[in-house]
Amino acid sequence: MDHSESLTFNQLTQDYINKLKDAFQMLDEDEDGLISRRDLTKIYATLGKTLTDEEWSKMVPENDTTMAEIGKEGVSFPIFLSIMGKNLSQFPDREELEKSLKSIGREHDLNVPLNEVIDSLKEAGFENPEEEFAKLFKLFTTNQQATDEKTFRGKLFLDSITD
């Protein structure tokens, strides 16, 4: 592991590591200590999807000698932590996300009209944010009954992705 990966891994709090451990255990369906292709295939199937070769190859590091030694292909918990640590370092912090939501919301509220979120994502270069973020929007959007306007619940979203 190079120095930049070490620093990223060390930035994870114990609470965050515990959450990642829970997520890892949920993904490791056969409880063999690895998230294998078989594990993910089952999870994808429950979602009505098929795990493609391309998706799998993006998820599993090719240079993982630990897996070659035990003759199994998959992601161990330490590698999962390393992958998640790298992803965490690429994700904006809560303050930056709050600032972004407030800048597009009304009265600097974290609950933002969904159409404004979509417009902002298009301006940022996303070609089809409605499709790319469909699951996220489904989880964190509510209909305002009085106006029938869809609102992205920014605070709920931020609370779910940050400690």
- Convert the pLDDT of each residue in 10-50 to its tens digit: 556 777 788 888 888 888 888 888 888 888 888 777 777 78
How much of the chain, in percent, has pLDDT values that exceed 70?
Answer: 77
Residues 104 and 78 in one domain: no
What residue numbers bound the domain in which 104 lies? 94-161
Task: List, as own/partner pairs, every contact residues 61-65 make where C-beta atoms lie below 8 angstroms and the sequence separation is at least 24, other chains included.
Answer: none
* Distance (Å, whole) CA 10 – CA 8: 5
Residues 103 and 85 in one domain: no
Is the model more confident about 125 or about 161? 125
Collapsing DSSP to helix, strand or coil, 48 comes out as coil
Q: What is the mean pLDDT of residues 65-76?
A: 60
Q: In the structure encoding, which two tokens stand for residue 127, read together?
A: 């070609």
How are strands ordered across the β-sheet holding 141-144? 111-113, 149-153, 141-144
pLDDT band for position 149 (50/70/90)?
confident
- Number of separate domains in the chain: 2
Cβ atoms within 10 Å, residue 116: 15
Residues 66 and 82 in one domain: yes
* Distance (Å, whole) CA 34 – CA 67: 9
